[in-house]
Structure 1
Amino acid sequence: MRGTTRTVAVAAMSAVALLAAGCGGGSSDDSSSTDAAGGSSGGEITVFGCNPQNPLVPQNTGETCGGDVLDPVFSKLVHYDSDTAAPENDQAESIETDDNQNFTIKIKPDLKFHDGTPITAESFVKAWNYAAYAPNGMYNGYFFEPVEGFGDLQCTGTDEEDPCKGAGKAKKEEMSGLKVVDDTTFTIKTSQKVSNLPVRLGYQAFAALPDAFYDDPDAFGDKPIGSGPYKLEAWNKEQSMVLVKNEDYTGDWPGKVDKITFKIYQEVDPAYNDVLADNLDIVTSIPASALIDDKYKSDLPDRNAQKETGVIQTMTFAPEKVSPDYADPKIRQAISMAVDRDTIITQIFNNTKVAATGWVSPVVDGYKADQCGEYCTYDPAKAKALLDEAGGFKGKQITLSYNADGGHKEWTEATCNSIKQALGVDCVAKGVVDFATFRAQIGEGKMQGIFRTGWQMDYPSIENFLAPLYTTGASSNDGKYSNPEFDKLIKDAAAATDEAEANSLYQQAEALLANDMPAVPLWYNKTVMGWSNKVDNVKITAFGTVDYTAVTTK
């Protein structure tokens, strides 16, 4: 759903070695947290929030507005260390495999959902089958593709409105690769070897669901029943989402504050001003106006943090049938070369970003610099020559759309100005009212031209920056990119048992993106946050989120 020097070397370790015991490490940036000894438990905090795209169901949420809320509400089999993203067992007692294709999962006994019902092996298997069954329309269903039998749960019809019609109906409702052994044990068989499967299991798509979900999925989406350190007390649409501490939580990462309220804002500037006035406790993004000359550091002395995180900002081209004017890869490459990343990062972000040279964040093992080559280097003359070679831009103007509630106005306008000056083609940045509406237009195929996209890693792996975004039919493949050679390399990499071989194959797949340019890499994130005088121990995780189990009140 989430930097430049830190690596997380986990991609090809065996599941037994990886998850037999917890592993951790120190942060690479001492400014990412305050003294853990300070602060006190109890009290309430308020946080900058935004409108989720979908109902709050882990298997149907693939963006940060909903994901930030669901993370503390649902525990998963695996927990990621907040500093390093290193995986360690949470609800799983053990995850074992001898061949990276047959996995045995044992969950801890006596786990319970927030409604008091037990969490069993069946709670996972049933939820995963529901998510993978295409007619249910779960956004994160794609993540179960490695499981044997996934294809039988997919619709194969050619009707774009309803591929499940007639002969296109899914053959089965359950994957053959999932088996319940007993109340605390289930097995996974994948269609081919998947060396990093255990690492993926901390992503919210793999959360267990209670029986209450199947009784009324719509009601559950408004008030989910999870298993984490916090419970959703209320979702006041367009206003707030309120979490309260789960007093019955028995896991290793309990919350400290009693209540967390995500206040929904239409823009980040008012949220920032509320933090300055102590009317909001945490703002997870700093507006451009406060980044200039490090103004936020004087505004919030000792109450700000910056950390390199597994987040990348990109621009994605609408599918060819929606916006055919961008279909030629040379046009897309020319647009990429026309973006003066370094100047925008300096003038708009005050160097709190790092110019991207590829599609994979440097924080994960397997990252390779300069995968985009010359196409991510600002060169107005070459950009214009490449555009001319493609026959010029046939449309009236280039459009770059963004969600207006996320503080993206300044940089999208600056990016458009750079493109316009380099290519001699009019470029306009277009704001869409909020994130939910913005993502809905993309998902419905109504968004034209170019649109802002960002990726926050779901789990610490090079694969996560490639497969969900660019393989054919993937859940977050917003531009509907399809390249059989890319798909094959991704599958071969996932099956590789040697870490170096896997990384090499993933890197070969990434290099193909430079030829096709389905999305333009812009910059890697250094997440910057600020907080009020009323809270302590605000820690930025490796995913660019707040560790809500660490925050305390003063």
Structure 2
Amino acid sequence: MAGGSATVLLVSEARTLDPAFGSNNNIGNAPVMNGIFGTLLVTDPETHEVVPSMATSFTTTDDGKTFVLTLRDGLTFSDGSPLEASDVKAHWDRVKDPATGTSYQGEAALVASTEVVSPTTLRATMVAPVPNFGNTIVSTVLNWVPEKESIAAGGPAFDENPIGAGPYTLKEWRRQDALVLVKNPDYWDAPRPYLDEITFRPSTDAGQRLNTVVTGGADVALESNWLNLKKAEQAGLVVRTQSLSGGNYLAMNTRRAPFDDVRARRAVALALDPLSINASAFDGAAELVDSVFSPESPLNTGVAVPAPDKVEAQRLFDELAAEGTPVSFTVTSSASTESSRTSESIQAQLSAFDYVEVEIEFVQFAAISALAASKDFDATVWSAAFLDPDPKLFTAFEGSSRANQTGIDDPELNAALLAGRTSSSVEDRKVAYEVVQQRLNELRPNFWTSRNNSSVISGRQVGGLNLYGFGSLRPELLWIQN
């Protein structure tokens, strides 16, 4: 089982190996970051509970006002220096600093201050109680810790020699081609990692991704396309899926016309039928968002997402046009198969209505990240998928959140999101998130297109397919049957 090499296909290529600018999900560079830097915490694949990894514990005794992170003894970076609580502090402080410019600054800013209690112990004091802050760590870049001295060298230098304490180290990175990691002989969790070498290759085209695994050109592929999952199962491949609530959605930018008018948002949302998107984009294979929370979620109270109403949609389009403001907007979409087909289906459906015009602007995946910071778009295909609703629902729809792509800022919605974040009981959280769903249904800042597909596919010779958080692959568990 030990030894050998594997080729893993990613949905997109990393822009940098600086963990502050990673994306801890299955469409980003999470497997690479997990390989180089390891993980402080992970989620149990069966219970979805947060459990230790490089940490031995992450605990609170005051309902999330403060936390204590305890590291394993003897952790070392790949250059031989010790990984200590001061490195965690330096990384969390850097992500928290707005000047750094990471997309996870809002989550890091939940921490008011950190204190190094000992070389293996860090105490975090929160701005407000966040009982489920462990979910924030496993779903963001806070889970990856670089050596604090090496990160000061700057982006290009760090990309050439990233120093982490993960199961692998960087051998070479040929941009737009391959990133190769080799086994770290000093990794703390021997005999892991099982593979001697992993080659990561970007593959944005869904069909090509699947065919490469089917024909043996790759051993594993991160997958976000529902149709690919269906075809992979038919081809006899191994499929692992992280079941999530929430999903993908059309984010309508309420900061500017036409979507600063709730009638325009409602018109678009009522005009669109997710079944049509599913048929055209995923051949009917996608799971749809009939309620924000999945049926398996303990927080599901049965609040339904509104059904399409084409008659009311046209009435609203007519009303806006009569006032001299017919609906016209551009969907900015990544060139990935999933986003592009979704955008094209949205455009085709809306073309059947009077007084609405839709254009599509296709950009590279890296440009989507820049767009998330600038907010310079009318509408874009985005995602808010989660195991636990905090932090994702809060960061996606709370008014002051930097990650709020829609720009919606509603006092009742903000208060409910905060209550869901700070409450420790399931019943109190259910009450809060029921209000959240009701306000989203009324304000319509987004239109849910499908559940998020956080999956991995592989040939039958591959074992150890394990996802945590938002579908983040743990490369140290992979093995190949020779």
Q: Which category describes the TM-score, using the shorter chain as reference length?
A: 0.7 to 0.9
Return the structure number with greater strand share: 2
Cα gap change, 1:397 to 1:253, in 2 (>3 Å): farther
Question: Which residue does 2:348 correspond to in 1?
Answer: 417
Partner of residue 19, structure 2: 58
Cα deviation digits, residues 381-429 of structure 1 (max 9, x gap): 1221233344468367443232113443333222321222255634344
CA contact (8 A) 1:314 1:523 kept: yes
Per-residue deviation, 1:56:
2.4
- 1:204-259 CA-partner distances (Å, limit 9, x unpaired): 43233313334313122454322222223333222222222222111389332222
TM-superposition CA deviations, 1:275-294 (whole Å, max 9, x none):
23221222333768767xx5
Cα separation, 1, equivalents of 2:194 and 2:246? 27
Aligned to 2:118: 182
* 8 Å CA contact retained: 2:233, 2:239: yes
The normalised TM-score by structure 2 is 0.87
Q: Give the gaps of 5 or more residues in structure 1.
A: 1-39, 149-176
Which residue matches 2:390? Answer: 463
Q: In structure 2, what is the Cα distance between the partners aligned to 1:314 and 1:72?
A: 30
TM-score (norm 1): 0.77
Cα offsets for 1:520-549 (capped at 9, x unmatched): 111113555543465345456573344433
Q: 1:363 to 1:398 in 2, by over 3 A?
A: farther
Q: 2:270 aligns with which of 328, 337, 341?
A: 337
Percentage of matched positions with identical amino acids: 19
CA contact (8 A) 2:44 2:51 kept: yes
Match for residue 400 of structure 1? 331
How does 1:350-429 map onto structure 2 within 5 Å?
350-362=283-295, 364-372=297-305, 374=306, 377-391=307-321, 394=325, 397-422=328-353, 425-429=356-360
Residue 207 (structure 2) aligned to one of 269, 279, 282: 269
- 1:59-89 CA-to-partner distances (Å, cap 9, x unmatched) read 3224632233213332333221234432112
Native 8 Å contact 2:171 2:180 kept in 1: yes
Structure 1 segment 244-263 matched on structure 2, within 5 A:
244-251=182-189, 254-263=192-201
Aligned residue among 511, 515, 518 for 2:442: 515
Counterpart of 2:452, as a letter, is N
Q: Does 1:124 align with 2:88?
A: yes
Is the Cα–Cα contact under 8 Å of residues 310 and 542 in structure 1 kept in the other structure?
Answer: no
> Residue type of the partner of 2:195?
V
CA contact (8 A) 1:242 1:259 kept: yes
- Does residue 70 (structure 1) correspond to residue 33 (structure 2)? The answer is yes
Partner of residue 145, structure 1: 109
Output the CA distance in 2 between the equivalents of 1:92 and 1:542. Answer: 16
Q: What is the CA distance between 1:464 and its match in structure 2?
A: 2.6
Write the distance in 2 (CA, Å) between the matches of 1:286 and 1:489: 30
Q: 1:263, CA displacement in angstroms?
A: 1.0
**Which residue is equivalent to 1:136?**
100
C-alpha distance in structure 1 between counterparts of 2:431 and 2:202, whole Å: 42
Local SS of the residue matching 2:440: helix
Distance 1:233 1:103 in 2: 36
Aligned 8 A contact 1:231 1:246 in 2: yes
Measured in 2, the distance between the counterparts of 1:197 and 1:355 equals: 28
In structure 2, the partner of 1:551 is 478
1:103 to 64, 67, 91: 67
Whether the 8 Å CA contact 2:406–2:445 is kept in 1: the answer is: yes
Secondary structure of the 1:94 match is strand
Q: Which amino acid aligns with 1:86?
A: E
Q: Report the Cα distance in structure 1 between the residues aligned to 2:454 and 2:60, rounded to whole angstroms.
A: 36
Of 218, 228, 238, 1:280 maps to 218
1:335 deviation in Å?
1.0
Unaligned runs of 5+ in 2: none
Quote the offset at 1:58 in angstroms: 2.6
What amino acid is the match of 1:220? F
SS of 2:476 mapped into structure 1: coil
Correspondence for 1:159: none
